[in-house]
Chains A and B, each alone.
Chain A
């Protein structure tokens, strides 16, 4: 083995890479926000009284969950201009991430809503709680608690998925790394380094979510 590792391009490109981390973070945050909106909306529509609406939501969930994100982002990238929306790669990536994450969020949130039994709501009302109090204390908090682990690990997954948005050259860590790599040909050094960045990002996220969970959701259930 006569290859010498050379991290100079990585060190020189560090400011750009750190900005790329910020880009990844913002992309993930926007994608999550959209995913939650789609998730909540989808859960409401999934119980719609109009049958075709219910079918559409189910078909959407199945379609998104059984096709690769890379194909979805390509499709959306080419479909949006036809729908009259000329967007930059980064907003396009946010839409794709939101749609993808939204399909998973629908399934997760639905599970949380189903976990609340009707008897609890009736019991709350019988105890003289206000409707808003019932919603906040008996519906929302336990439902959030029930879905919190799966929803947050889905968010970590979504953050890692942002690296695929480099395929349409959205602004995030992987596309910044690709630029440095194509200038320096130090592929292993560049990608090895940002792999560690991703590891730190997902570790920090998991720690953050775990802290929230112990702060708000660690109360006895029974």
Chain B
């Protein structure tokens, strides 16, 4: 494998990182909305968001990408593959992050909400200044764990035809007929991306377990 092929893999890596970031940030924004709706104590909102989460957690990510990809084309939206997969990952991430953050919001002791209400803080300030800062802390290990899952998940964009790291690996391996070498390198690149995050996540988890004792 020459330096050209390796550079091509690195370009793929760049798209993997970008796609993960877009999915994570977009999923974070919608996920927060879903988490808040999920704990809103309005039955209709809670049921809709519960269904949304169950739908995404009960189906393969690959199918979600397919349905979004072909579904968008079907309603007449001629979108770039890049935009279509970005939308797919955003929806996927919003469901998972929504569920993680719902759990974290509910893990904040009830007395905090009651105290904030007693101080006559309104909803926005109660959430923004009291509940969410604590919930974010609690959710951090699981959120990082999901980010790793999302980075690995972006490899499925290769099947839809988007050239990120895995598809770049496919292309290179078809060119130079050394699939083991190429997918070995691709695997190492993913590992270098994900492992530090995983380590940081379990470090946080341990620290919180100690703090809880």
Write the residues of chain A forming the contact surface with B, with a CB cutoff of 8 angstroms: 1, 3, 62-63, 65-72, 74-75, 78-79, 82, 156, 160-164, 166-167, 174, 187-188, 191-192, 194-195, 198-199, 202-203, 206
Write the residues of chain B forming the contact surface with A, with a CB cutoff of 8 angstroms: 55, 58-64, 66-67, 70-71, 73-76, 148, 152-156, 158-159, 166, 169-170, 179-180, 183-184, 186-187, 190-191, 194-195, 198
Asked whether A69 lies within 8 Å of B64 as measured between CB atoms, the reply is: no
- B7 shortest CB reach to chain A, Å: 19
Most B C-beta atoms less than 10 A away, residue of A68, A167, A194, A199 = A68
When A1-B75, A66-B191 are in contact, do A71 and B64 touch as well, CB less than 8 Å? Answer: no
29 interchain pairs, CB-CB under 8 A: A1-B75, A3-B75, A66-B152, A67-B152, A67-B190, A67-B194, A68-B152, A69-B152, A71-B155, A71-B190, A74-B169, A74-B179, A78-B180, A79-B180, A162-B60, A163-B62, A174-B60, A187-B70, A188-B67, A188-B70, A188-B71, A188-B73, A188-B74, A191-B66, A191-B70, A192-B67, A195-B64, A198-B59, A198-B63
Most B C-beta atoms less than 10 A away, residue of A66, A82, A194 = A66
Asked whether A70 lies within 8 Å of B158 as measured between CB atoms, the reply is: yes
Chain B residues with Cβ below 8 Å from A1 are: 74-76
Chain B residues with Cβ below 8 Å from A191 are: 63, 66-67, 70
When A67-B191, A163-B60 are in contact, do A75 and B180 touch as well, CB less than 8 Å? Answer: yes
When A75-B184, A202-B59 are in contact, do A66 and B148 touch as well, CB less than 8 Å? Answer: yes
Asked whether A75 lies within 8 Å of B63 as measured between CB atoms, the reply is: no
- Knowing that A1-B76, A202-B59 touch, tell me 20 more A-B residue pairs with CB under 8 angstroms: A1-B74, A66-B194, A66-B195, A67-B194, A70-B158, A70-B159, A71-B155, A74-B183, A75-B180, A82-B180, A163-B62, A164-B60, A187-B66, A187-B70, A188-B73, A195-B63, A195-B64, A195-B66, A198-B60, A199-B58
Taking a contact as CB atoms closer than 8 A, the residue among B71, B76, B148, B166 that contacts A70 in the complex is: B166
With the chains together, A74 CA to B70 CA distance in Å?
25
With the chains together, A125 CA to B12 CA distance in Å?
59
- The SS class assigned to the A binding surface is helix
Chain B residues with Cβ below 8 Å from A69 are: 152, 155
Chain A residues with Cβ below 8 Å from B66 are: 187, 191, 195
Asked whether A174 lies within 8 Å of B63 as measured between CB atoms, the reply is: yes
When A71-B183, A78-B179, A188-B67 are in contact, do A66 and B60 touch as well, CB less than 8 Å? Answer: no
Asked whether A62 lies within 8 Å of B195 as measured between CB atoms, the reply is: yes
Asked whether A163 lies within 8 Å of B67 as measured between CB atoms, the reply is: no
Asked whether A195 lies within 8 Å of B180 as measured between CB atoms, the reply is: no
When A160-B59, A199-B59, A202-B58 are in contact, do A63 and B191 touch as well, CB less than 8 Å? Answer: yes
Chain A residues with Cβ below 8 Å from B58 are: 156, 160, 198-199, 202-203, 206
- A174 shortest CB reach to chain B, Å: 7
Asked whether A67 lies within 8 Å of B187 as measured between CB atoms, the reply is: yes
In the complex, the chain A residue whose C-beta lies closest to that of B57 is: A202
Chain A residues with Cβ below 8 Å from B74 are: 1, 3, 188
Chain B residues with Cβ below 8 Å from A156 are: 58
- A187 shortest CB reach to chain B, Å: 4
